[in-house]
Amino acid sequence: MTPEETPSSDTAPSPSVTALQREHPEWVREVIIAFGETTIVVPRENIADACTFLKTSPETRFDFLADICGADRGVEEEPRFEVNYHLFSTTKYHRVRLKVLLNEEDTHVPTVTGIWKTANWHERETFDLFGVIFDGHPDLRRILLPDDWQGHALRKDFPLRGYEPYSLK
Amino acid sequence: MGLENVIAEALPEVLTTRLDSLINWARKSSLWPATFGLACCAIEMMNATSSRNDLARFGSEVFRASPRQADVMIVSGRVSRKMAPVLRRIYDQMPEPKWVISMGACATSGGVFDNYAIVQGVDKIVPVDVYIPGCPPRPEMLIHAVMMLQDKVMNESVRDRRDIPEEEAREAVVPGTLPITDGSTAQQNTLPESRPYTIASRHERRRST
């Protein structure tokens, strides 16, 4: 993944990055600025703390969790999975994306349902389609696929037609 | 559930040809569909009852909100894997005699949706009497299918169909439905070690060559 070169005005660090780097530099593993969007790669064990900080800090005030989505980079990739948190501030009117990278063997992430309640269904969806397990989630079960489904449909190694032809007969 | 069953049971040797023609005429003249729209084909199905196409000319305009009052199920659109048990339950709730029209390419064969989420043909779930091609079929094609179904009804006999006994229907568990599980689903959903693919999709075949 090679993000294109962006104009210099976009590469200026956003207030959320500077605040996070000043207070907790160990939570910022990498900062990616591309297409005018800021992405902060956060270690897995710090994601809940980083979200709490970004929500409560007066500089950032990310009071709105716009989306949580998973991504499968491919079976051969290492780390294979990523979980992206899209934050938005309704008062400051700015955005940031947090990214957690996961290995295939250990797809556990701490939940952020205690910070934003809307994370409940987003995390269920990510669990349903990618198999990412959110530790501490109050009700982690499938939300889109049927309850008796086998596997996780948006993984790259999931066969397009499913594992077996479906029939009630 | 009616006079014809009582007669067929009480007088099994009696020829019921004239009775058949009377009952079949009554049945074909009031084929009431269940209100059950699945996808874009449902727009054409609604249009078939509009004043321009007027399915009422053939006695089939009364879409019943309850499957208990319906005779025909028009499967109008793609049946998703999650909708399949629901569709089967609605079919089971319809009293005999009942018929099914598979409307459109998706309900008939899965159509363009050759993937894990869509049932590849509703005849894997319920028996189908008339298939309609098209994407979506025009309302005239649906009316034609209803008229073909009427021809089929006229060739039936009251002895052909039996009601499901009430207690058996109540005990029946629709396959594919599960009770809502608790939060420990994460442990239950661990994938088995290796499950063979049955049919390689077009996508996978292209990648392997």
Select from B173, B189, B197, B199 the residue whose CB has the most chain A CBs within 10 Å, as the one to mutate to test that interface.
Answer: B189
Q: How far apart are CA B209 and CA B199, in angstroms?
A: 15
Residues A161, B195: C-beta atoms closer than 8 Å: no
DSSP string computed for chain A: --PPP--TTTTSPPHHHHHHHHH-GGG-SEEEEETTEEEEE--GGGHHHHHHHHHH-TTT---EEEEEEEEE--TT-SS-EEEEEEEE-TTT--EEEEEEEE-SS--EEE--TTT-TTHHHHHHHHHHHH--EEET-TT---SSS-TT--S-TTSTTS-TT-SS-----
> Is there a domain that residue A136 lies in?
no
B-contacting residues in A 105-144 (Cβ below 8 Å) = 127, 131, 133, 137-142, 144
What value does the mean pLDDT of chain B take? 76
> Is there a domain that residue A122 lies in?
no
Residues A161, B191: C-beta atoms closer than 8 Å: no
pTM: 0.74
Q: What is the pLDDT of residue B122?
A: 87
* Burial class (CB within 10 angstroms; exposed 0-12, middle 13-18, buried 19+) of B40: middle
Which CATH fold would you assign to the domain B2-154? Answer: Rossmann fold (3.40.50)
Residue of B114, B115, B183 lying closest to A141 (CB–CB):
B183
CATH at residue A21: 3.30.460.80
Residues A165, B125: C-beta atoms closer than 8 Å: no
Residues of B with CB below 8 A from A165's CB? 120, 124, 198-199
Q: Is the pLDDT of residue A105 over 80?
A: yes
> Is there a domain that residue A49 lies in?
yes
Provide the CB-side half-sphere exposure for B117 (13 A, CA): 9
Q: What is the pLDDT of residue B166?
A: 45
- Residue A80 in tokens: 């294979």
Q: How far apart are CA B38 and CA B33, in angstroms?
A: 14
Q: What is the pLDDT of residue B33?
A: 92
Handedness of CA A11, A13, A15, A20 (dihedral sign): positive
Higher pLDDT, A107 or B174: A107
CA-based nearest residue to A147, from B38, B189, B78, B87: B189
Q: What confidence tier does A166 reach under pLDDT thresholds 50, 70, 90? A: low
Phi/psi-derived region of residue B165, left when phi > 0, alpha when psi is between -120 and 50, beta in every other case:
beta
Q: What confidence tier does A11 reach under pLDDT thresholds 50, 70, 90? A: low
Instruction: Please state the ipTM of this predicted complex.
Output: 0.73
Q: Is the pLDDT of residue B195 over 80?
A: no
Residues A163, B198: C-beta atoms closer than 8 Å: yes
- Residue B202 in tokens: 């077009």
DSSP string computed for A18-67: HHHHHH-GGG-SEEEEETTEEEEE--GGGHHHHHHHHHH-TTT---EEEE
Select from A152, A167, A169 the residue whose CB has the most chain B CBs within 10 Å, as the one to mutate to test that interface.
Answer: A167
Q: Which range is least confidently modeled, A73-77, B116-120, B203-207?
A: B203-207
Residues of B with CB below 8 A from A159's CB? 116, 197, 200-201, 204
**Which long-range contacts (C-beta less than 8 Å, at least 24 apart) are formed by A45-52?**
A45/A110, A47/A85, A47/A98, A47/A100, A47/A109, A47/A110, A47/A112, A48/A110, A48/A111, A48/A112, A48/A114, A48/A115, A49/A24, A50/A20, A50/A24, A50/A98, A51/A85, A51/A87, A51/A98, A51/A112, A51/A115, A51/A116, A52/A115
Q: What confidence tier does B13 reach under pLDDT thresholds 50, 70, 90? A: low
pLDDT per residue as tens digits for the range B33-64: 998 889 899 999 999 999 999 999 988 888 98
Q: What confidence tier does B2 reach under pLDDT thresholds 50, 70, 90? A: low
CA-based nearest residue to B163, from B100, B101, B94, B99: B94
Q: What confidence tier does A4 reach under pLDDT thresholds 50, 70, 90? A: low
Q: What confidence tier does B82 reach under pLDDT thresholds 50, 70, 90? A: confident
CA distance B72 to chain A (A): 20
Residues of B with CB below 8 A from A162's CB? 81, 115-116
Q: Quick one: what percent of chain B has pLDDT higher than 90?
A: 25
Q: What is the mean pLDDT of residues B99-118?
A: 89
Residue of B84, B181, B189 lying closest to A168 (CB–CB):
B84
Q: Is the pLDDT of residue B1 over 70?
A: no
Q: What is the pLDDT of residue B14?
A: 66
CA-based nearest residue to B101, from B150, B157, B47: B150
Residue of B115, B175, B182 lying closest to A160 (CB–CB):
B115
- Looking at the structure of chain A, the number of domains it has is 1
Listed in sequence order, the residues at least 6 apart from B1 whose beta carbon sits closer than 8 Å to its beta carbon are B95, B96, B163
pLDDT per residue as tens digits for the range A146-164: 887 888 889 998 888 877 6
CA distance B145 to chain A (A): 25
Residue of A145, A160, A168 lying closest to B125 (CB–CB):
A168
- In what helix (H) or strand (E) does residue B101 lie, and over which residues does it extend? strand B99-103
Tell me the residue range of the domain where A70 lies.
Answer: 5-111
Residues of A with CB below 8 A from B173's CB? none
Which residues on chain B place their C-beta less than 8 Å from a C-beta of chain A?
81-82, 84-85, 88, 114-117, 119-120, 124-125, 174-176, 178, 180-183, 185-186, 189, 191-192, 195, 197-201, 203-204
Q: What is the pLDDT of residue A145?
A: 87
Residues A133, B186: C-beta atoms closer than 8 Å: yes
Q: What is the mean pLDDT of residues B156-182?
A: 51
Q: How far apart are CA A138 and CA A85, in angstroms?
A: 19
Handedness of CA A25, A27, A30, A34 (dihedral sign): negative
Q: How far apart are CA A12 and CA A50, in angstroms?
A: 21
Q: What confidence tier does B84 reach under pLDDT thresholds 50, 70, 90? A: confident
Question: A with B: how many residue pairs have Cβ under 8 Å apart?
Answer: 90
Q: What is the pLDDT of residue A26?
A: 87
Q: What is the pLDDT of residue B204?
A: 43
Q: Is the pLDDT of residue B158 over 50?
A: yes
Q: What confidence tier does B156 reach under pLDDT thresholds 50, 70, 90? A: confident
Q: What is the mean pLDDT of residues B112-117?
A: 87
Q: At which residue do the structure tokens 């459109």 appear? A: B104
Listed in sequence order, the residues at least 6 apart from A151 whose beta carbon sits closer than 8 Å to its beta carbon are A158, A163, B191
Q: What confidence tier does B179 reach under pLDDT thresholds 50, 70, 90? A: very low
Residues of A with CB below 8 A from B200's CB? 159, 161
pLDDT per residue as tens digits for the range A113-143: 999 999 999 999 999 999 999 999 988 888 9
Q: Is residue A139 within 8 Å of residue B183, measured between CB atoms? A: yes
pLDDT per residue as tens digits for the range A73-99: 988 888 999 999 999 999 988 899 999
